[in-house]
Structure 1
């Protein structure tokens, strides 16, 4: 199997979209879009994020030892594109703070974490974070599937149209 076939197969798994943020040296906030995020444990409360070895965020996370996961709402595709580097703009991003760490306002969930361990596997580093605080809002999620953004409402409308035929 080649890398394109593998990437295509992995794209068949619908995921939410997150922005990972960290603060370095007390006032320098860095972020990146990621869908490689998962809950690991309820006791203790742990999550994992996966960061590629060539991504600038890797050294920032190693230096800060802390991060936040911001689960994006369906109307926040632009934020995802900004933090993925796919949308170049002069928009200044406003941050809120949770547990002394930067978070994005208006997201579905803000999760504040301290790195408890990291594990290198393949071309990525897995950061395991102890969850210190959470803020949750009730909204529809932004979804990434098959290489594009979509929403639950969009998928429901397609499903209803198919049932009507």
Structure 2
């Protein structure tokens, strides 16, 4: 069943021509309904990390993507209310650990749901802490921070990166649950 929830009329001619508008409309859906809808897009899972005063700080996220190949840029979206938000700004650099299937405990731990089965183990890459054993571990220098509603898009230039040679299956997240790729024949 297809359900329509419209938030605003089509863009005006001024907006199509690049002019900005401060006009805001109230959507016909709640923030939770929007979150559930966006959860239908399957993503990978990363741990964003940084260090302040010699102490590592990390959080789980799924709003991550590559932004450019030359220079090598990555983007993460962090809620303005998250403790990590100001830590990234203050540190000026951050690490990304791309989690592999089976690293659910790590994801849960840094999402604020620690388990007795997992104790964080960090290694250093390019001057920042990253998760030991993650499928991809990279270090990025903060280059830009763009306000994006109740989040900020942090753009970092990658200056060091390590990957697993066996390319493990990714840890996937869809509709509020972890998943995995189907085995190919």
Normalising by structure 1, what TM-score?
0.88
- Normalized per residue, which structure has more strand? 1
Task: Determine which of 82, 96, 101 is the counterpart of 1:69.
Answer: 96
1:23 paired to 2:51: yes
Specify every segment of 5 or more residues in structure 1 that has no aligned partner in the other structure, as ranges. 161-165
Task: Determine which of 26, 35, 41 is the counterpart of 2:68.
Answer: 41
Greater length-normalized contact order (CA 8 Å, ≥ 6 residues apart): 1
Q: Name the count of aligned residue pairs.
A: 155
Please state how far the C-alpha of 1:151 moved relative to its aligned partner.
1.4
Structure-2 residue corresponding to 1:86: 113
1:7 paired to 2:35: yes
Task: Determine which of 140, 165, 178 is the counterpart of 1:113.
Answer: 140
Output the aligned Cα RMSD.
1.7
SS in 1 for 2:110: helix
Q: Does structure 2 conserve the Cα–Cα contact (< 8 Å) formed by 1:11 and 1:145?
A: yes
1:150 paired to 2:179: yes
Please state how far the C-alpha of 1:146 moved relative to its aligned partner.
0.8
Please state how far the C-alpha of 1:4 moved relative to its aligned partner.
2.6
- Normalized per residue, which structure has more helix? 1
Structure-1 residue corresponding to 2:7: none
Specify every segment of 5 or more residues in structure 2 that has no aligned partner in the other structure, as ranges. 1-28
Q: Does structure 1 conserve the Cα–Cα contact (< 8 Å) formed by 2:109 and 2:118?
A: no
1:128 paired to 2:155: yes
Q: Does structure 2 conserve the Cα–Cα contact (< 8 Å) formed by 1:82 and 1:89?
A: no
Q: Quick one: structure 1 residues 2 and 88, their matched pair in 2 at CA, closer, same or farther if it must change by over 3 Å?
A: same
**CA distance in structure 2 between the partners assigned to 1:81 and 1:22 by the alignment:** 18
SS in 1 for 2:109: helix
**CA distance in structure 2 between the partners assigned to 1:90 and 1:151 by the alignment:** 21
SS in 2 for 1:74: coil
**CA distance in structure 1 between the partners assigned to 2:117 and 2:171 by the alignment:** 23
Instruction: Please tell me whether Structure 1 or Structure 2 has the larger radius of gyration of its CA atoms.
Output: 2
